[in-house]
Amino acid sequence: MLCLVVLEWTQLSQNLPTYGGAVYTRWGRTSCPAKASLIYKGEMAGPDVHSSGGGSNYQCLPEDPRYGHTATGMYSSLRAVNYWLHYNKNVFGKDLHTHSAPCAVCEAEQRVTQLMIPGQTRCPTSEWNVEFVGLLMSEYEHAESNTQDFSHSTHRSAMQYICVDDNAESVRGPTGGGGAFLHLVRAGCDVATKDALSNCPPYRSDKSALSCVVCSK
């Protein structure tokens, strides 16, 4: 009898559906890695960087929006997010400067968690799976005294740091700028400042752009 119960449970468990999966956004791409399934793809969006207020996180807008209400009067707006790579036009192997960035929302099946690690290209241990490797990017860090690039002198929106895929694509471009932007990120290791990172080296503030990796487990 015990053997029969075990056999029946084994057969039943093989037919049970598999639930769960770690969900993440693959910034800069319209597809998911080979071992992940695509939930939806779209275009990156963010606030107008020349205005204060609005959100502080990038959004992945689907290609097929559906509306339930109307908006009149005062409202917040989402703009296209463009790569700003004026001095690093070939960092992705192709010129994406001022091109609009895409995004894909992916599910790593049979994984229960995911994390993005800045400054790394590998996952912590063999128990973790590399979803994708990329470059850490965010909005321009504006200082009132910085007049080196006039086009960014009025940027006021602070945005999150995200991992943009190493093999980034575009959905439109070049646009000529405007909207929100994606800039490369470097470590703050200037010894002349009091707020420099404490572990410099191994971090350095030369021309090295910070990498990133998205891992699942």
Residues 6+ positions from 144 with CB-CB distance below 8 Å: none
Q: Where are the domains of the chain?
A: 20-61+77-216
pLDDT of residue 129: 95
pLDDT of residue 6: 43
pLDDT of residue 142: 57
Residue 205: is it exposed, middle or buried by C-beta count within 10 angstroms (0-12/13-18/19+)?
middle
Element (H, E) at 162: strand 162-165
* Interval 58-71: pLDDT, tens: 999 999 989 888 87
pLDDT of residue 54: 66
The pair of three-digit structure tokens given for residue 118, joined into one six-digit string: 């800045």
**Strand ranges (E), 94-159:** 102-109, 114-118, 129-138
Q: Alpha-carbon torsion 51, 172, 63, 139, what sign?
A: negative
pTM over 0.85: no
pLDDT of residue 72: 76
pLDDT of residue 176: 63
pLDDT of residue 167: 95
Residue numbers in the chain where pLDDT is lower than 70? 1-20, 50-55, 74-75, 141-158, 174, 176-178, 191-193
> What distance in Å separates the CA atoms of residue 128 and residue 111, rounded to the nearest whole number?
10
